[in-house]
């Protein structure tokens, strides 16, 4: 086994979907999607280093991440070592800031960051295509966090990805109503409401226009939103408050239950933060990202 010489730290950003269309429920049981992912600066941090045989996970931060064996960072490490053909001997340190079951892709991002960090720790044995192949087995949102850009279109379950040039960073806000929404439940509600029917695309996506926040704002929609907002009325009220405060995009994030707004000016965003806090929500200021987060390699003893 190579000497334990270093630790690798990767930021694991949250995502929002600037639009999200749910198409048919396919034979696999999964729904075909068409979505525009955008990474934001609210982020967890994943640090990996070589350790005793096995996979150990330490989680810091007040976010419930469920049982260790089902944690997506742990499952990423298992999958990575199976592909590598080596027994795992790794410590994973996860600092959680992204709320769970919030539509922000926190677990998926931790999973992708773990794959990136382990790949760096082992001297980059896998190229991006190989990592993407492992990613889609681990979860639908995981490939996006490995695609190399903070902005990407995705189709199908999320394994068909088109990385786009990032949009200029914009001030944003994320707010959580305090009620979780599990992704399978949100899909089930949509399927029940549609009676299994196919929802055609409302319009084709002008990919060449996705270089501009105005064009993105004109497309912004989320098919989950009306269905989940029926269960959690605070979502609709929060989206209205974001719009009133000047957000150019104001939507529920993914399958919920958090909402987000993108603003032209930080002052507008700050006004929205006050209003959402006044509504009893947990609120985070966050910028949209212009770059994929770096992988940081540290000598042991400087774990961040
Ligand atoms: O792939 P992931 O584990 O994130 O998906 C969780 C659940 O959400 C799936 O088991 C499925 O019920 C539902 N899902 C879906 N269509 C998708 C993604 C997820 O129906 N495209």
The answer to whether the beta carbons of residues 24 and 198 sit under 8 Å apart is yes
Categorize the per-residue pLDDT at 1 as very low, low, confident or very high, splitting at 50, 70 and 90. Answer: very low
The number of the ligand 1 atom at minimal distance from the alpha carbon of 139 is: 1
CA end-to-end span of the chain, whole Å?
A: 24
pLDDT for position 304: 46
Q: What is the mean pLDDT of residues 136-152?
A: 97
Confirm or reject: Cβ of 114 under 6 Å from ligand 1: no
Measure 30 CA to ligand 1 centroid, in angstroms. 6
Query: What percentage of the chain has pLDDT greater than the value 90?
Result: 83
Nearest CA to ligand 1 atom 11: 184
Of 59-68, 93-102, 216-225, 271-280, the least confident: 59-68
Beta bridge partners of 163: 152
Q: Return the best residue to mutate from 23, 25, 30, 255 for the ligand 1 pocket (most ligand atoms within 8 A of CB).
A: 30
The number of the ligand 1 atom at minimal distance from the alpha carbon of 25 is: 20
- The whole model's pTM is what? 0.94
pLDDT for position 208: 85
What would the 3-class secondary structure string for the chain be? CCCCCEEEEEEEEEEEEEEEEEEEECCCCCEEEEEEEEEEEEEEEEEEEECCCEEEEEEECCCCCCCHHHCHHHHHHHHHHHHHCCCCEEEEEEECCCCCCCCCCHHHHHHHHHHHHHHHHCCCCCCHHHHHHHHHHHCCCCHHHHCCCCEEEEEECCCEEEECCCCCCCEEEEEECCCCCCHHHHHHHHHHHHCCCCCCCCCCCCHHHCCCHHHHHHHCEECHHHHHHHHCCHHHHHHHHHHHCCCCEEEECCCCCCEEEECCCHHHHHHHHHHHHHCCCEEEEEEECCCCCCEEEEECCCCC
- CA 6 from chain center: how many Å? 27
pLDDT digits (tens, 9 = 90+) for 8-51: 999 999 999 999 999 988 888 899 999 999 999 999 999 999 99
Residue 203 predicted with pLDDT over 70:
no
Measure 156 CA to ligand 1 centroid, in angstroms. 11
Q: What is the mean pLDDT of residues 125-153?
A: 97
Q: What is the mean pLDDT of residues 181-197?
A: 87
Categorize the per-residue pLDDT at 204 as very low, low, confident or very high, splitting at 50, 70 and 90. Answer: confident
pLDDT for position 75: 98
The number of the ligand 1 atom at minimal distance from the alpha carbon of 142 is: 4
Instruction: Just list the catalytic residues.
Output: 15, 141
């Amino acid at each position: 086994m190579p000497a334990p010489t270093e630790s690798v730290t990767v930021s694991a950003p949250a995502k929002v979907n600037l639009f999200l269309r749910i198409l048919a429920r396919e034979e696999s049981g999964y729904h075909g999607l068409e979505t525009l992912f955008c990474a934001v600066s609210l982020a967890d941090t994943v640090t990996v280093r070589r350790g005793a045989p096995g996979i150990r996970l330490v989680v810091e931060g007040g976010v419930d991440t469920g049982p260790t064996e089902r944690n997506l960072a742990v499952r990423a490490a298992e999958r990575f070592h199976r592909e590598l053909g080596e027994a795992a001997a790794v410590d994973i340190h996860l600092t959680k800031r992204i709320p769970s079951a919030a539509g922000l892709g926190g677990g998926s991002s931790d999973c992708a960051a773990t794959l990136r960090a382990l790949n760096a720790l082992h001297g980059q044995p896998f190229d991006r295509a190989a990592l993407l192949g492992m990613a889609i087995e681990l979860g639908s949102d995981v490939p996006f966090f490995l695609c190399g850009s903070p902005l990407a279109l995705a189709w199908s379950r999320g394994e068909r990805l088109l990385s786009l040039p990032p949009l200029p960073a914009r001030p944003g806000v994320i707010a959580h109503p305090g009620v979780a929404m599990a992704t399978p439940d949100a899909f089930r509600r949509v399927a029940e409401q549609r009676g299994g029917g196919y929802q055609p695309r409302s319009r084709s996506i002008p990919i060449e226009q996705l270089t501009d926040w105005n064009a993105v704002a004109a497309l912004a929609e989320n098919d989950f939103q009306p269905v989940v907002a029926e269960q959690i009325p605070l979502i609709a009220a929060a989206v209205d408050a974001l719009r009133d405060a000047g957000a150019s995009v104001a939507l529920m994030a993914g399958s919920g239950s958090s909402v987000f707004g993108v603003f032209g000016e930080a002052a507008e965003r700050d006004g929205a933060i006050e209003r959402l806090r006044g509504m009893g929500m947990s609120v985070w200021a966050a910028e949209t990202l212009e770059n994929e987060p770096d992988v940081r390699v540290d000598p042991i003893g400087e774990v961040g």
